[in-house]
């Protein structure tokens, strides 16, 4: 595998197993320095995604948390959508601004 599919995009990764392990480890290590300007927490999920290509344990961990996040995101969107819809006879809430 020479790419990882992220949504509708394909991201190229090294073809060798060693190269993917080095890249994934470097991304995870860079995520530890999240307070620096270029490095950040975005590197942790990217590192896990690269490592999940070769490791079944990391793949299972990533997939489990990916499903949780998507379910949470959809439930959150549904809650905000239903809160924004006003039923008949309901008065709108206080307006600020």
Question: pLDDT tens for residues 2-42?
Answer: 788 777 888 888 889 999 999 999 999 999 888 888 888 88
Element (H, E) at 53: none
Res. 93 pLDDT band, cuts 50 70 90:
low
What pLDDT is attached to residue 96?
A: 64
pTM, full prediction: 0.62
What pLDDT is attached to residue 94?
A: 61
What pLDDT is attached to residue 82?
A: 86
Question: pLDDT tens for residues 45-82?
Answer: 888 889 888 888 988 988 898 899 999 999 999 988 88
**Domain segments of the chain: what residues?**
3-83
Which residues does 47 contact at the CB level (< 8 Å), separation at least 6?
A: 23, 24, 25, 26, 27, 28, 29, 30, 31
CA angle 85, 91, 92 (to 5 degrees): 55
């Amino acid at each position: 595998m020479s790419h990882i599919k992220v949504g509708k995009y394909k991201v190229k990764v090294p073809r060798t197993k060693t190269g993917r392990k080095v890249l994934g480890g470097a991304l995870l290590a860079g995520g530890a320095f999240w307070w620096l300007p270029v490095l950040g927490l975005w590197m942790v999920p990217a590192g896990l995604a690269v490592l999940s290509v070769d490791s079944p344990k990391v793949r299972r961990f990533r997939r489990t948390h990916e499903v949780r996040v998507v379910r949470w995101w959809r439930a959150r969107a549904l809650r905000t959508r239903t809160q924004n819809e006003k039923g008949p006879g309901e008065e709108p809430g206080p307006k600020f601004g």
